[in-house]
Amino acid sequence: MPEPVRAAAPFGDPTPQTCLQVAGEAALLAVIAADDAMAAACRSRSGTAKLEAAMHAAHQEAVEAARHADRAEQYADDPEMPASALNYCARQAVHHAVLAQTAAGVETTAAGLRAELDRVLTPAEQAERESARRREEAQREAEQQATTGMDRQNREQAASNLYLAEHHVAQLGWTTGHLRVMEAAATGRLYQRAGRARLAARQGEWTGGRRISQERTQALLTAKFLTAAQHGDGTHVLTPSPMGTVALELARLHQDGLHASDHTAYEARFARVRRRHKRRDDQKAAARRLPPLEPSAQKLYRKPITIAEQQALASEQAALDPAPATPTETGVEPLPAASVPQPAPALTTTPRAPAHAPHKPRRTRPRNRAIPVSPLQPTLW
């Protein structure tokens, strides 16, 4: 899944710092108003109900203003919270502060805080905010790269791969033993001969080696997670297929999706293929087979590349594609411009009719003035 990044506030909205400051000032003004209302009620000897009601109302509004100010601080620490949430909390804090001052019967100075929230930024302030946003993003990106060793695109791909693993590994019906067989095949040393699967000590030496579960190996081969290449003497070298390569990477990412034993894996596969209209024996036979990986997972999976790997690939590409050599490096001196033969200028002539075209004399009407004839074109009359 993509990384949580706080959405930048539009240029018309106040900055998070402004929202926090306004919310804090509003909460403070509301508390002062509640204290004034309580002091007025205490000073009154008669203790009228009106003053007590004002005291309770101001106290309630002060509590609300402080609650919104605290929520603004919590939202400021949450990178998933948009900047508009801070603006909302600040405006609510101002609203309740105005109500607290009104209930206390004091001057509503909190209303002036709305002007700070509604103030339109100047072009210089907008440019400064954009620069600060870019610096913050660059710093955050540098920290993420230092932690993960990957840029944003590959980090998002890695998160997407983990999401795929969590949704598809359990459906494979694998155990840890199936994963070990696939890891052995990925080394290029897994081979099968005479009904036995072994892991050769060295690639190319198809004798001896550690024994591998033949049952799991055959199940993976039948499900086309493995491919077999014959190497004479009845030896077949087993390597992961394209589908098996993706399934192996997903299983490594989410090993909690693997089943604890072959029995629990069989039960899970049986639950998936169980149908009322099918015979019991057919259901058992289907449960013994490993299901293929979903095609959507194969299409969406991409192996992420670290920054170090990208740099290594770029160095290898630069070594394979050197810069083109200059004429002096090849030992051939370039000719001076004056000695380079120039093409002859093309003569501009009047196009003539093709030789095979029939000649038709031009019809002219008698005129009183002479008609000039081009020296390059024969006279047709």
pLDDT tens string, the chain, 381 residues long: the values are 444 444 444 445 788 888 999 999 999 999 999 999 999 988 877 668 889 899 999 999 999 999 999 999 999 888 788 878 999 999 999 999 999 999 999 999 999 999 989 887 788 878 887 898 899 889 989 999 999 999 999 999 999 999 999 999 999 999 999 999 999 999 999 999 988 999 999 988 898 899 999 999 999 999 999 999 998 788 999 999 999 999 999 999 999 999 999 999 999 899 888 877 778 888 888 889 999 999 999 999 999 999 999 999 999 998 887 656 555 554 555 555 444 455 544 444 444 444 444 444 444 444 444 434 444 444 332
Domain contains 348 = no
- Do residues 112 and 170 share a domain? no
Taking the C-alpha atoms of residue 4 and residue 269, their distance in angstroms, rounded to an integer, is 36
Q: Which of 248, 273, 298 is the last residue of a domain?
A: 273
CATH number of residue 266's parent domain: 1.10.10
Number of domains in the chain: 2
Sheet with 226-230, edge to edge strand ranges: 210-212, 196-199, 190-193, 236-240, 226-230
- Specify if 171 maps to a domain: yes
Q: Which helix (H) or strand (E) holds 228?
A: strand 226-230
For residues 163 and 119, state if they share a domain: no
Q: Decide which of 273, 293, 328 is a domain's last residue.
A: 273
Assess whether 118 and 191 both reside in one domain: no
In angstroms, rounded to a whole number, what is the distance separating the alpha carbons of residues 373 and 63?
107
210 and 116 in one domain? no
Whether 295 is in a domain gets the answer no
Is 371 among the domain residues?
no
Cα angle for residues 366, 371, 374 (degrees, 5° grid): 140
Q: Are residues 23 and 95 in the same domain?
A: yes
Determine, yes or no, domain membership for 176. Answer: yes
Is residue 263 domain-shared with residue 182, that is, in the same domain? yes
The domain boundary, picked from 273, 296, 327, lies at: 273
**Cα distance between residue 239 and residue 226, in whole Å:** 6
Residue 202: inside a domain: yes
Shared domain check, 208 and 263:
yes
331 class by beta-carbon count within 10 Å (0-12 exposed, 13-18 middle, 19+ buried):
exposed
Closest to 72 measured CA to CA, from 49, 55, 89, 56: 89
- The answer on 252 and 164 residing in a single domain is yes
One domain for residues 163 and 263? yes
The reply to whether 92 falls in a domain is yes
Nearest partner of 242 among 292, 298, 192, 172, judged by Cα: 298
Domain extent, residue 233, equals 158-273
Does a structural domain hold residue 61? yes
Tokens of 134: 């870019």
Distance CA 133, CA 280 (A): 64
